Amino acid sequence: MRFCPRCSTAYEGNERFCTKDAVVLVEQSDFARLGSTIGNYKLLDILGRGGMGTVYRGEHVYIGKPVAVKILHERFARYDEAVKRFLREARAASAINHPNIVDVTDFGPMPDGGVYFVMEYLEGESLETLVEREAPIELHRTINVIYQIASALSAAHEKGIVHRDLKPENIVLTRRPGRREIIRAERDATGTQRFVIEREEAFDFVKVLDFGIAKVLEPEAAHSEGPGSTMAGTIIGTPEYMSPEAAKGLPVDHRADIYSLGVMFFDMLTGSVPFTGNTPIEILAKHIAQPPPLPRIANPKAEITETAEKLILKSLSKDPEDRQRSMDEFLEELQHCYGSVAYRRDASNSVETKLPPRPKRLTEELDDWLKAHQAQLQSTQRLLEQVAAAPEAMGIPLSHESAWNDVAKAVLQPRPPLPRAPTVPPPLPVEVTGKK
């Protein structure tokens, strides 16, 4: 018998989701743990159930701090490889130490032989929920989310860790108060472009979860991996977001994560994944052999810049060698994908939101002039110092007035022209809103 963790409705059939709340059903044993204490943590509610374990909302019994507790499924607890894989998730997440990766704070055995680990408790929703509710997501918001995911994965790759199961379900978003300025490029009724500068009201802060099938790219880890690990011939992951090499059962590296992130970028902007099918095998076959659709054709109404489309298609290359070489390269290309809306600091990377240059102040013009003629001025200063220190040694008698005049002319001529006020075109209208 299975139960809905939200409304407690019992199901005796093969249903996977609650017909009332659309929530994944949990086993009776998962439900029976509610109210019990594991280590220093009391289990209060069930947050979700995944392939490896069930996640509970918990509370530290002494200090009352809210936490998330993930417990390995009972059917896996008796298998050493499953326990190692579960432990690998805890170690991988804690080793990376990045603000956009969920923080693992504790780990331990259970009295019944199982294992658990404790994570920070997150108030928010999954990216999957946001996409299902609001997709397509506007370009500016999408870039902000993808940027944080890519930053987290870049840190993981530096540690030799590949996520291997990147998908919206494993991304949690929490809304935080805005702190940056946003520039919007707009056109009025006459077609004249203007810019609106405002402060963002809120933004999505990303947390990457579930390193349960993460691969640690280290020699000793490779030798210790057994059945269930990513060795040749083993397929692990979610079909809609799986790279072609993973679909073939080949060994994967960090470029598999780049592919999966490209699928998520496509999904958020268009409202659908590039490849769908009636069965997982059909989807995997398309990842292997079928070219991805053009994002701007998949959803012509969505704002997708040419640079964003190029980035997505490059990341979805069948051959890993044709993708971005690293997540840092992906991040660099992502900076140039903005459209009509961008953060002010990134506005120069977008043709639409690039503000016209303002005239330079006189002090800035003088600074530029001094820098441009620094070598000549230094040479003049050294010559004057030599003349002042020993004029007679340079063949200039102190009483010879005409000779001193010749020195002055030699030192001061020709004189570089002083800067003039620059001529710039009139700036485009800029409106600063009063949003704080």
| Statement: residue 330 has pLDDT above 90 | yes
Catalytic residue chosen out of the listed positions 30, 165, 210, 257:
165
378 membership: H or E segment, kind and range = helix 374-389
Tens-place pLDDT, residues 232-269: 444 556 899 999 999 998 989 999 999 999 999 999 99
Q: Is this prediction's pTM over 0.75? A: no
pLDDT of residue 273: 96
Instruction: Give me the percent of the chain exceeding a pLDDT of 90.
Output: 39
Angle between helices 401-412 and 374-389 (to 10 degrees): 160
284, burial (CB in 10 Å: exposed 0-12, middle 13-18, buried 19+): buried
Kindly list the distances between the CA atom of residue 389 and the CA atoms of 136, 382, 383, 392, 405, in Å, as whole numbers in the listed order: 76, 11, 10, 9, 17
Q: Where are the domains of the chain?
A: 33-120, 125-349, 362-420
The upper half-sphere exposure of residue 406, i.e. CA atoms within 13 Å in the direction of its Cβ, equals 9
Environment class of 91 (CB within 10 Å of its CB; exposed 0-12, middle 13-18, buried 19+): middle
> Which whole number is the average pLDDT over 302-318?
96
The pLDDT value given to residue 412: 54
Active site residue 368: no
- Average pLDDT estimate for 353-377: 73
The CATH architecture one would assign to domain 125-349 is Orthogonal Bundle (1.10)
Q: Determine which helix (DSSP H) or strand (DSSP E) holds 120, and give its type and residue range.
A: strand 115-120
Question: 33-120, what's its fold?
Answer: Phosphorylase Kinase; domain 1 (3.30.200)
Identity of residue 233: G
C-alpha closest to that of 307 among 271, 334, 326: 334
Measured CA to CA, the distance from residue 131 to residue 269 in angstroms comes to 9
